[in-house]
Chains A and B, each alone.
Chain A
Amino acid sequence: MARFDKITELRVEHITKRFPGVLASDDISLSVGEHQILALVGENGAGKTTLMNIIMGLYQPDEGKIFINGQEVQLRTPNDAFDCGIGMVHQQYMLVPNMTVLENIALGMKNSWKGLKVDLQMVREKVTEISEKYGLKVDPDAYIWQLAVGEQQRVELVKTLCLGAKFLILDEPTSALTPQETDELIALLKNMSKELSIIFISHKLNEVKALSDKVSILRHGRVVFEGSTADYTPKQIAALMTGHEVEINANTDDPSNGDPALVIKDLCVRSDRGFLALDHFNLTIKSGEIIGLAGVSGNGQRELAEAINGIRKTESGTIEFFGKQIQNLTPGQVIQTGMGYIPEERNTEGIVPSMSVKENIILKDSESERFSKNHILRNKVIEQASNKAKDDFDIRCPGIHTAAGSLSGGNIQKVILAREISRNPKFLVCVYPIRGLDMGAAEFIHKELLELRRKGVGILLISEELEEIMNLSDRIAVIFKGRNQAVLERGEATTDRLGILMAGVEEDE
């Protein structure tokens, strides 16, 4: 395998990759020059990840060629790609939590292994060299579990660079970062581009605009647009990405003056690892209002949603739902009180993946009078209801007998939404509802949530996308380390202010 001292150009030509029933890459040609940052944008399923996996040698293209510095290369395995100097930072970090930064980096560096011994001194020198060269501050002796997400990402970057990457591929690098961390990363990457070239996958168009020189938009496996980023506004890029003008759903109605629906007082809940994930958390949500709960994920959001829905036991404190205490009820009992819940893990918790769409629609209601009589399922009624849900919620699937797990993320979320909304909930807990969804699906889900609000249903919207929270919420709460930092009115909230609160800085008032 050819080695390159420098990558002056990476070019792919006419890449085509077919999967069963799908054309994942359809005659894609791209090129990235020296010191360039190419943003690759597109909706989910547009083929971004497939293309990157081909460049990383994880998949073999059915047709097409890859060139580095004009020389054709065959990338059969990820090792081939490393050898050529291509490195990728995945969306999910590949770090061992109970090892130090240094040990993690040494894991991948084969030349640091001397027989049975690892030459940590050599790794340390390399790490210092790299972090000085690119301004990537890392503490080599810290354990991974001690690091914040943004720091872990820097470790991933250092690791990739220590392996000799001269060309970086970053898959949605900002998805878990606070706004401040995101800004830092963007500055860092801009600086790094003086030394190397970067492909940057994202669907946050502001970042694309801020960082990249060139942008390529993928749709249905094809490059539908490429151009210089400077010439286009985020809105124009969004329109090209979805193929239509994007309508942003915003909550502009007057604040609700409904009765308190959900009152959470001094709630303490332990996480799976045993520490207090919620620490005397307080929040009151009225009927007919959307409260956005902002925060970096991992600050107690999951535990809050699970405690409200009876899935997690509480330590102390109360959850009052229309005057009735619901803490420590079983999930079934909470469902009976009229609580709706869109869970974080839509693929494994929100649906039973191997069951059909039809069977998932009745997940919470198989014993209801509507869907069963004397414990015998009423198949006709269930099919009618499922077909109606499929039409009303625009669930795109071959039929209601298709396994729900085989649908795309957006359609899975629509199945969940259809089930929750058609149960006529009195309240809805909604966790990261559009995480990883494309703009079309996100737009649809936001529209439905606003519609539900208008019907007088209170909604707790847990999200890490500030844009989503600021567009939809009546009031915004910020969670940090299991505490409610502040509750702001819609008008008071700015990205900066929220970002500071999300990072744990208390406001003096």
Chain B
Amino acid sequence: MNNYKLIYKISVIIVAVLIALLIGAIIILAVGDDVFKTYWIIISMPFKNLRAFSEVLIRMIPLLIVALGISVSSRCGIINIGAEGQMYMGIIASTIVATNCPGLPKFIVVPLCILAGAIAGGIYGFIPGWLKAKLEVSELLSTVMLNYVAAQFFAFCIRVPLLDPNEKSGTPMSRRIAENATLSKLFRGMSLHQGIFLAIILVVVIYILMFKTTWGYKMRAAGASSRAARYGGINVSKYLIISMVISGACAGMAGAVELMGVQSRAVAGMTSGYGFSGVVVALFGALHPFWIVPASFFFGILLFSQVNLQILTSVPPNLVKALQGLIILIIVAVQMVISNPYSIERFRKRFFSKAKTSRKEA
């Protein structure tokens, strides 16, 4: 890639972030709070101490895992907005395994729970994948509808079959998972858990899958041009379904990790919208595993700031959600700008006119 193109892209992203902050500032002013203080809290709190930093990381873990899955299906040409539902299914399966394996050693139960989450999420991803591949049902429709089904099914599970028998207050929640099913904390007194290793492994695995194997190659070809892929003898339907299974499995694993590392039991609202934010993270990370890492970290900071804003200011934590929404819109706009060759050219003319003359001579 030419130098100026990279600089161009980075500057467009910076401008986008600035625009988002500016619009956010208007909203903050409207609720009558201090703009700089609010932003300062968002930016500085995560780095205040290691404990705060680990809070950001535990939010980053499920986001990263979900987003990796979404990058796989998106590259194969199917947008999975059903990660939220797939996460719920993963949590349910994982909870069942985690609460029913007394006496087994940890090194067996932990992988088993994660596997259960992956399988349940994978199956739940298979459904819209199959519907799209065989019946051409829009994945936007099927995944969103399946999210509702999963959310209600989860609500039912934690109220009836999985309800904690010892819980007298009536709060819907499952039994606490056994110690042999928890992901241990890495440092004393900090929330960071072993799930981060799974996330890191998945980054590498997904990268290799998508860019080094024939399967990933075929999925990308099918996503980039299903017609050309079909012409080239690639079974587009098959890879569409596989990509959705992988995507669902990732979401399911994210759910399992959240259960085993953070919540320790299935409770209402425990997906925290990671399934939806994951779509944004995947897009923000340009659907590339290596870029998704910083993207999920950035969103981890945003999510963590919800907590701090509530404590330290009168800014409603939902403001952060509004900011997320703004960022989505701006990303879409930015992608249009970035892919427009004319604006790249104008940028080059203005800031890199030297490069232009040397090119002309050549």
The residues of A that contact B213 with a CB separation of less than 8 Å are: 372, 375-377
Instruction: From A335, A341, A363, A377, name the one whose CB has the most chain B CB atoms within 10 angstroms.
Output: A363
Chain A residue total in the interface (Cβ 8 A): 34
Residues on B with beta carbons closer than 8 Å to the beta carbon of A341: 231
A354 to B226, CA, bound (A): 12
Q: Mark A326-353, 1 if CB is under 8 A from B, else 0.
A: 0000111111100001010100111111
Q: Could you tell me if A330 and B235 are in contact, using CB atoms closer than 8 angstroms?
A: yes
Asked if B265 lies at the interface with its beta carbon under 8 angstroms from chain A, I say no
Q: Is B3 an interface residue (CB 8 A)?
A: no
B216 → chain A closest CB, angstroms: 9
B224 interface residue, CB < 8 Å from A?
yes
A20 touches B231 (CB 8 A): no
A336 cross-chain contacts in B, Cβ below 8 A: 233
* B217 in complex: contacting residue of A19, A309, A334, A366, CB < 8 Å: A366
Partner of A343, one of B212, B231, B341, B344: B231
0/1 interface trace, chain B 215-228, chain A, CB 8 Å (1 if under): 10110110011011
* A364 part of interface (Cβ distance < 8 Å): yes
Check A348 against B233 for contact (C-beta < 8 Å): no
- List B contacts of A343 (CB < 8 A): 231
Of A348, A349, A366, which one neighbours B214 at CB under 8 angstroms?
A366
Whether the pair B212, A355 counts as a contact (CB closer than 8 A) is no
Contact A350 B221 (CB under 8 A): no
- The answer on a CB contact under 8 Å between B234 and A332 is yes
Contact A332 B233 (CB under 8 A): yes
Chain A CB within 10 Å, residue with most, of B221, B225, B231, B234: B231
Total number of A-B contacts with CB less than 8 angstroms? Answer: 80
- Beta-carbon contact of A355 and B221 below 8 Å: yes
Q: Quick one: which of A364-402 are within 8 Å of B by CB?
A: 364, 366-367, 372, 375-377, 379
- Residue A311 interfacial (CB < 8 Å): yes
**Cα of A98 to Cα of B221 in the assembled complex, Å:** 35
User: Does A352 contact B221, Cβ atoms closer than 8 Å?
Assistant: yes
Q: Which one of A349, A350, A354, A377 lies within 8 Å of B224 (CB-CB)? A: A354
- Whether A367 touches B228, Cβ cut-off 8 Å, given contacts A20-B345, A331-B233, is no
Q: Which residues of A contact B185 (CB under 8 A)?
A: none
Complex interface: chain B residues within 8 A of A332 (CB): 233-235
Measured CB to CB, the closest approach of chain A to B209, in angstroms, equals 10
Interface centre among B228, B341, B342 (most CB of A within 10 A): B228
Are B224 and A353 in contact, CB atoms less than 8 angstroms apart?
Answer: yes
Interface flag for B230 (CB, 8 Å) = yes
Q: How far is the CA of A341 from the CA of B344 in the complex (A)?
A: 37
A43 interface residue (CB < 8 Å to B): no
Most buried by A among B214, B225, B230, B233: B233
Cβ-defined contact, A372 with B214, below 8 A: yes
Chain B residues with CB under 8 A of A367: 214
Tell me if B220 and A355 are in contact (CB < 8 A). Answer: yes
Residues in B106-130 with C-beta less than 8 Å from chain A: none
Contacts of A21 in B (CB 8 A): 345
Closest residue on chain A to residue B230 by CB atoms: A331
User: Please, could you name 19 A-B residue pairs with CB atoms under 8 Å apart, sorted by A?
Assistant: A20-B345, A331-B232, A332-B235, A334-B233, A349-B228, A353-B225, A353-B228, A355-B220, A363-B221, A363-B228, A363-B231, A363-B232, A364-B232, A364-B233, A366-B218, A376-B213, A377-B213, A377-B214, A377-B217
Sample of 18 further A-B pairs with CB below 8 A, known A349-B227, A377-B217: A20-B342, A20-B345, A21-B345, A331-B231, A332-B235, A349-B225, A350-B228, A351-B225, A352-B225, A355-B220, A362-B217, A363-B221, A363-B232, A366-B214, A372-B214, A375-B214, A376-B212, A376-B213
